[in-house]
Amino acid sequence: MAKTLFRWLFVPLLLIAAGIVISVYTVNNPTDSLVARALTYDSILKSLREHLWLMLVSMIGAIVVGVLVGIMLSRPKLYYLGRGVENVVNVGQTIPSLAILALFFTIIGLGFRVAVFALFLYSILPILRNTFAGIINVPDSIIESARGMGMSPFRILTLIELPLAFPIIVAGIRTAIVINVGAATLATFIAAGGLGELIVIGLSLRRDMIVLTGASLAALTAIILDYLIGQVEAKVVKWV
């Protein structure tokens, strides 16, 4: 048990340590006074906290809605509607995240809620698509065998379709999280904060150290979350 927990936490702790080292180094070794004012422990922690909060709130909504809608559209009666929605989702995924943020900024305004809503919509696409694709690609022979055994549609869904589709659904969630963390850096343009604020400040001041600090912390956040979800997926698949 201890060895398993150590293997689980070793990579995330190593990456967290790397983020701490980067933050401590940049705060204590500024290249000039502008960098010193922009990079403080308070500013880094504030940006990281805002970024994680944006990601967490939008991803919870995206996972719940994306999985439920994907399941609903995978039902035989809604199959063709599901195909149509899947095509729309595929097209929607090509829209730049900055364009989505700009669109909802013009409709709703500035702030945290607008950024969360835009990130929610952008993150829901791969989750919904993978949920739908994972369920409809369960072999018909398995479904027919379950029906022959007298299983109800609900039991077939929960005991056969969802477990078999689980790796594909989780792959969509992992993709959505990476996209979400990256897109959340743009939330600073609609006054929602996040690590993008450091990047924008660094670009405006032409200070690479500030830009690299914000970008590296965002990248490490995405890698850590992707790794942890991958470990959870591996354990659940093994258990199932």
List, for residues 166-225, the tens digit of each pLDDT value: 989 999 999 999 989 988 888 888 878 889 899 999 999 888 999 999 999 999 999 999
Residue boundaries of the structural domains of the chain: 9-239
Q: Which residues lie closer than 8 Å to 176 by C-beta, 6 or more apart? A: 59, 62, 63, 66, 123, 124, 125, 126, 127
Q: Where are the alpha helices (DSSP H) in the chain?
A: 2-28, 33-38, 41-73, 79-92, 97-107, 112-136, 140-148, 153-156, 162-183, 196-205, 208-239
C-beta contacts of 19-23 below 8 A and 24+ residues apart: 19/216, 19/217, 19/220, 19/221, 22/213, 22/216, 22/217, 23/213, 23/217
Written as six digits, the tokens of 223 are: 């890698």
pLDDT of residue 92 exceeding 70, the answer is no
Band the pLDDT of 3: cuts 50, 70, 90. low
pLDDT at 45: 93
Q: What pLDDT was estimated at residue 217?
A: 93
Q: Which of 142, 140, 120, 138 is nearest to 69 (CA)?
A: 120
CA dihedral 45, 50, 53, 55 (to 10 degrees): -110
What CATH homologous superfamily does 9-239 map to?
MetI-like (1.10.3720.10)
